[in-house]
Amino acid sequence: MTEPVRYRKDREGKRYRVVLNEGHEGFVTRWTESCTGCFEFNEGWGLEHYEYDAKHKCRIGAGCSECGYTGKRRASFWVPFDMTAWSRYVKAAEERQAAG
Ligand SMILES: [Zn+2]
């Protein structure tokens, strides 16, 4: 059985697809960022040495195995709708772990 897709709106009316994490409701935010694996900072070599991707607002690295030689990578992060409840849950889980 699969969970039906649900959406929630924030105060500004922006719609988010609900993604459950440990029973808590949240949403996943995704963006593209520079791959940190293929940037080299040496004396005289700044960021301007690398190509700028205006669409994704990041510099494109030289390419490495970490990013599949694209110089940038997709990043994602789960954000809870109820940060207070989530923080409480994480804290309780940590305490349980610490107690063994
Ligand atoms: Zn890379």
pLDDT in tens, 63-84: 999 999 999 999 999 999 999 9
Residue 12 domain-assigned? Answer: yes
Kind and range of the H or E run holding 26: strand 24-34
pLDDT in tens, 13-66: 999 999 999 999 999 999 999 998 898 765 556 677 789 999 999 999 989 999
- Domain with 65 in it: 7-99
pTM beyond 0.75, yes or no: no
Residue 1 domain-assigned? Answer: no
Residue 44 domain-assigned? Answer: yes
Q: Comparing C-alpha atoms, which of 74, 72, 84, 4 is closest to residue 38?
A: 72
**pLDDT computed for residue 1 by the predictor:** 63
What is the 84 CA–ligand 1 centroid distance (Å)?
Answer: 36
**pLDDT computed for residue 55 by the predictor:** 93
What is the 60 CA–ligand 1 centroid distance (Å)?
Answer: 9
Structural domain count, the chain: 1
Alpha-carbon distance of 18 to 8, in angstroms, equals 6
What is the 26 CA–ligand 1 centroid distance (Å)?
Answer: 29
Alpha-carbon distance of 5 to 16, in angstroms, equals 11
Q: Does the pLDDT value for residue 2 go beyond 80?
A: no
Ion ligand 1 — residues with CB < 5 Å: 35, 37-38, 61, 64, 66-67
